[in-house]
Amino acid sequence: MNNTVTPKIKHYFVDEAGDLTLFDKKGRIIVGKEGSSNLFMVGSASVSNPSEASVRLNNLRSQLLSDPYFKDVPSMQSKYNKTAICFHAKDDLPEVRREVFKLLPQLGVKIYVDIKRKTDLAVFAQNYFRFHKAKLRDNELYDYMIKVLFRNNLHKADENYICFSRRGKSDRTQALANAIKNAQLEFETFRNKKSDKQINIISKYPSEEPCLQIIDYYLWALQRLFEKGEDRFFNLLKNDFRIIRDLDDKRKGNLGAIYYDRNPLELKKIKPVQS
């Protein structure tokens, strides 16, 4: 009799939306102005079957590329490194985006997102500079967000595979591994439980890993909801969001506004974005 227990495995794909531009060259806060978003968010897509999801995304892109309707569209030509290479919500045509939105709810994903309001980040960065006499680096903020995003998730499976969308040309795998380790340590501290599950970390470009294109779309829809008050994209995908934390909306508590099954996110609930 075989009593071997199959290990539980989770696959996460991580990306960001918004930017970390806070100040101009003179140190003035420019959050919300041209070239700077109001929010910075980091999200992960837990994909139940990455291989199947990748095949379905690639098949859809192939079908669209072979459609005569898109024959002369620049973004559908490989030399422009856009939709012809991979789906990217910001660059895709509305007609393409609609087809992707139809497919995404069929892929069995669960989405987790943490959001920082950049007006609050700017004040924090100013205080950080006064205390440390040094600038707060973008990578420090990003790594902090990764720690917060994962600290309550990594104990749920025997093995966790985390694929990060590459930011720039530098290899930050070790720094991201440190952020994940800190997430485990915080879980152990606050929950008084051991978090010693196996963690495997890689970084890839979305053109190399189709499942990164999934989280890109979910974050784009969420960003449109917060930044522009458009809920039509979010509403197409809202059932796949498991937890959304607006960390700086502290109207009801210091932990921020937390949206989940029993408190679903709706446009009317969002604290207005300050420009």
Domains and CATH numbers, the chain: 9-269 (3.30.420.10)
Which residue spans within the chain are E strands per DSSP?
9-18, 39-47, 109-117, 159-165, 198-204, 241-246, 257-259
Indicate the helix (H) or strand (E) that contains 224.
Answer: helix 211-228
According to the model, what pLDDT value does residue 232 have?
Answer: 96
**Beta strands at 241-246 and 159-165: parallel, antiparallel or unpaired:** unpaired
DSSP state for residue 239 in the 8-state scheme = G
- What pLDDT is attached to residue 225? 97
List per-block mean pLDDT (blocks of 10 residues) for the chain, which spans 275 residues: 71 93 86 86 96 98 95 90 94 96 97 95 89 85 90 86 83 81 81 75 94 98 96 97 96 93 96 77
β-strand pairing of 109-117 with 39-47: antiparallel
> What is the per-residue pLDDT for 181?
86
Cα 42 to the chain's mean position, in Å?
A: 4
* Rounded Cα distance, 159 and 7, in Å: 7
Contact by Cβ (8 Å): 271, 255? no
At residue 167, φ and ψ (nearest 5 deg) are -110, 100
Structure token digits, residue 67: 């459609």
pLDDT at 176: 84
Tell me the β-bridge partners of 115.
41, 246
Sequence letter at residue 29: I
**What is residue 136's predicted lDDT score, i.e. its pLDDT?**
82
pLDDT at res. 132: 84
CA distance 184 to 197: 9
- Tokens encoding 3: 């009593």
Query: Residue 188 burial (CB < 10 Å; 0-12/13-18/19+)?
Result: middle
Q: From its phi and psi, is residue 77 left (phi > 0), alpha (psi between -120 and 50) or beta? A: beta
CB-CB contact of 200 with 177 (8 Å): no
d(C-alpha 124, C-alpha 107), whole Å: 38
User: Which pLDDT does position 36 carry in this prediction?
Assistant: 82
In this prediction, residue 100 carries a pLDDT of 98
Question: Rounded to an integer, what distance in angstroms lies between the CA atom of residue 207 and that of residue 78?
Answer: 12
Q: How far apart (Å, rounded) are the C-alpha atoms in residues 233 and 154? A: 29
User: What is the distance between the alpha carbons of residues 84 and 114, in angstroms, rounded to a whole number?
Assistant: 30
Structure tokens at 95: 């007609």
